[in-house]
Amino acid sequence: MSVEIYLLHWLQSGALTLGLGGLVAAVTRWASWIGVLGAVLVFLVAPRRAEALRRAAFYGLVAGVLSLLLAHSLAGAFVRPRPPLVGGALVQPLLPLPSTSSFPSRTAAFLFGLAGGLFAGGEDAAMLALLWGLMAAVAEMAAGLAFPTDVIGGAILGLSAAWAVLVARGIFERPLSWLLRYGGWTTSSQRHRPDR
């Protein structure tokens, strides 16, 4: 047995002993959807004067989607069974096992991409997204759906996607500026400065 299996066993046993099995399963199941909903709500309901926050939410969503697409592509190249299929009685699934490879963690890729995109916008909301991503990663491991290296790989992929979005954000500026003007989410006195 690998060290990762014993770590997952320890996480899962601790969660179940504390009566957190239901919470672990719920966080694992809904983490990505809550991340999407949070970013969309920030984009839609932030005050007009908070254009930087709205832009950060947009870049977070773009980075999250890009990292999710990359994670799905990589999962086809790396076939790794889910922990309960390898760990025997040491790790039990708290949710139905997906039939896809466990590497990389799609949840970690998306949520860390989202958080990285928010950091690219220079927003404090990125810290909340990062904490949510960390909590979801621990929950996914405790639920028996991912190895620690799956989560680390997903996090690296997500942060790399966020970096790529930051480097290439000039590509998105024209459609984003149009969207902000069309939606009435900006004022004529506010202009996005490219050096931000």
Specify the pTM.
Answer: 0.88
- Say whether pLDDT at 183 is over 70: yes
**Least confident residue range of 27-41, 74-88, 114-128:** 114-128
Cα separation, 41 vs 59, whole angstroms: 14
Question: Tokens for 119?
Answer: 């950091």
Nearest CA to 114 out of 168, 72, 80, 154 is that of 154
CB 114 within 8 A of CB 133: yes
CB 148 within 8 A of CB 104: no
CB 94 within 8 A of CB 86: no
Q: What is the pLDDT of residues 43-57, one digit of tens each?
A: 888 777 778 888 889
When comparing pLDDT for 68 and 193, which is higher? 68
- Say whether pLDDT at 20 is over 80: yes
Q: Is the dihedral of CA 12, 15, 18, 24 positive or negative?
A: negative
Average pLDDT over residues 68-84: 91
Average pLDDT over residues 108-114: 96
